[in-house]
Amino acid sequence: MKIDKKMKRWVFILIAALAIFLTADLCARERGVKFSGGTDLVSTYVWRGVRESGPAFQPSLTMSAGNFSATAWGSVDFDSAYKEMDLTLAYALGPVTLSVADLYWTGHADDRYFVFDSRSPHRIEVGASWVVSEKVPVTLSWYTVLFGATDVNHKGERAYASYFEAACPFTVKTVDMKAGVGMVPWNAAATYLTGNRGFCVQNVFLNAGKSWTIKGTDSMSVGVFTNLIWNPALDDVNFVGGISFRM
């Protein structure tokens, strides 16, 4: 299979980034590697304000060592019409977390996973998030797609689809809450379904959840959550409910 020059470049960048992360965190690794995982069951899968599927299972597995983490996350609906698989490398530098992710989901002209040429269904995305302070725990995040056959605007041109979000967690009695707003700064029609719009508000959300440790275990827990999500750009609203299991 022939791999185009642009894909080779991004594969090289990802390998180099992984090597840097691993080298920088070598001392932390000597202190031990930890694994964690879980599964969510959601009534609707909504990603950054966009409804992707109906009810879905969403498993996750994370390896962490010091400030470094590698996460596999997936989503599949009940009739397997929609499938997603994301791999993310992240490194925390104090209040700032840098990430590189491979986002794969179905619904393209060619959905084969191991296609890495100009038809590739993968999107390579870089991101950065910053927690302002402990007293003001607002998180500001920015994500940009660097590669992907379907990363195009309404004219079919490379979009470098980007998303900016501001979110703040808080607690009401014993319920964990989070409110935030997400925006698309320029046209990214294929990724965020924004048509011919430029800047738009894509995701306004209010989340609530609560979890309980399972008796007789040290780390296993079960939780319930609800997410109320408005998408002004698409004139859409979704009210999501879910159950989570963590280990």
Measuring CA to CA, which residue among 122, 102, 103 is closest to residue 112?
122
By the 8 A CB rule, do 55 and 41 touch? yes
> CB neighbours of 202 closer than 8 A, spacing ≥ 6?
48, 49, 50, 163, 182, 183, 184, 192, 194, 231, 232, 233, 234
Q: Give the pLDDT confidence of 134-189 residue by residue, as tens digits.
A: 888 999 999 999 988 889 999 999 999 999 999 999 999 999 999 999 999 999 99
Q: Are 124 and 147 in contact, with CB atoms under 8 Å apart? A: yes
Q: Is residue 10 pLDDT above 60, yes or no?
A: no
Grade residue 3 by pLDDT with cuts at 50, 70 and 90. very low
The predicted model scores a pTM of 0.86
Percent of the chain at pLDDT > 70 equals 87
Query: What is the distance between the alpha carbons of residues 246 and 211, in angstroms, rounded to a whole number?
Result: 9
Integer Cα distance of 33 and 27 in angstroms: 11
For residue 234, the 8-state DSSP code is: G
Cβ neighbour number for residue 110 with a 10 Å cutoff: 10
Structure token pair of residue 192? 């965020």
Q: How confident is the model at residue 118 (pLDDT cuts 50, 70, 90)?
A: confident
Give residue 32's pLDDT.
79
State pLDDT tens for residues 42-70: 999 999 999 999 999 999 999 999 999 99
Tokens of 7: 């894909």
